[in-house]
């Protein structure tokens, strides 16, 4: 089974931005930073005379504000990545082939094979399938590239089946 799709600059932005929500490492740092700010706010000497409930609300608000600032920073980073890099090998036509030995990806610039036993996870967002090879390396596949939901479902079923039945290294 194979699937061909096109990656555009807007795909680079959206997949770079939304993939952070599928990375436990990046999301963990963001949540930890927000929690740290919330705890510091809660324990701050300047607000000790405020009621416990008010301090808890302030801690949640400040922690949430830090999280929003970090997400906005990621959006800006994604925008810069989209605009400033050439993305040879990423932009353009991609073909994924679900073969016996692994997932073969072909572009105008490269051809790579990822063995089934090495896959990390498959995730979906509103507009993309993310085929993660590691925590931060993935193939973004736009859902719009499938002719129908059924075609996408068949592709996903076959992909997940091959990943699940692969022999994992000892």
Tens-digit pLDDT profile for residues 45-92 = 556 667 777 777 777 777 778 778 877 887 787 777 767 766 666 788
Extended strands (E) in 62-150? 92-98, 102-106, 111-115, 121-124, 128-132, 138-142
Give the three-state DSSP class for 6: strand
pTM of the prediction?
A: 0.69
Backbone angles phi, psi at 137, to 5 degrees: -110, 125
d(CA 166, CA 161): 8
> What local confidence, expressed as pLDDT, does residue 67 receive?
76
pLDDT-wise least confident of 16-20, 88-92, 166-170: 166-170
Kindly report the CATH class assigned to 2-8+88-165.
mainly beta
Q: Quote the radius of gyration of the chain (alpha carbons, Å).
A: 21
- Residues constituting the chain: 170
Q: What is the largest CA-CA distance in the chain?
A: 67
pLDDT-wise least confident of 44-53, 93-102, 108-117, 150-159: 44-53
State how far Cα 21 lies from the chain centre. Answer: 6
pLDDT at 43 over 80: no
Q: Mean pLDDT of all residues in the chain?
A: 81
**Per-residue pLDDT band at 109 (split at 50, 70, 90):** confident
> What local confidence, expressed as pLDDT, does residue 96 receive?
94
Domain residue spans in the chain?
A: 2-8+88-165, 10-84
Closest CA to 145 of 168, 124, 127: 127
């Amino acid at each position: 089974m194979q699937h061909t799709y096109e990656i555009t600059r807007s795909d680079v932005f959206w997949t770079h931005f939304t993939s952070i929500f599928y990375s436990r490492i990046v999301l963990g740092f963001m949540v930890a930073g927000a929690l740290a700010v919330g705890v510091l706010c809660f324990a701050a000497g300047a607000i000790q005379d405020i009621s416990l409930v008010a301090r808890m609300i302030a801690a949640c608000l400040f922690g949430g504000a830090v999280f929003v600032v970090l997400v906005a920073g990621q959006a800006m980073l994604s925008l810069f990545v989209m605009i400033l890099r050439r993305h040879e090998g990423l932009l353009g036509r991609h073909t994924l082939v679900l073969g016996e030995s692994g997932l073969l990806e072909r572009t105008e610039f490269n051809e790579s094979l990822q063995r089934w036993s090495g896959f990390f996870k498959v995730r979906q967002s509103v507009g993309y399938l993310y085929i993660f090879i590691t925590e931060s390396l993935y193939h973004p596949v736009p859902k719009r590239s499938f002719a129908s939901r059924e075609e996408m479902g068949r592709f996903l079923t076959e992909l997940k089946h091959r990943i699940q039945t692969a022999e994992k290294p000892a």
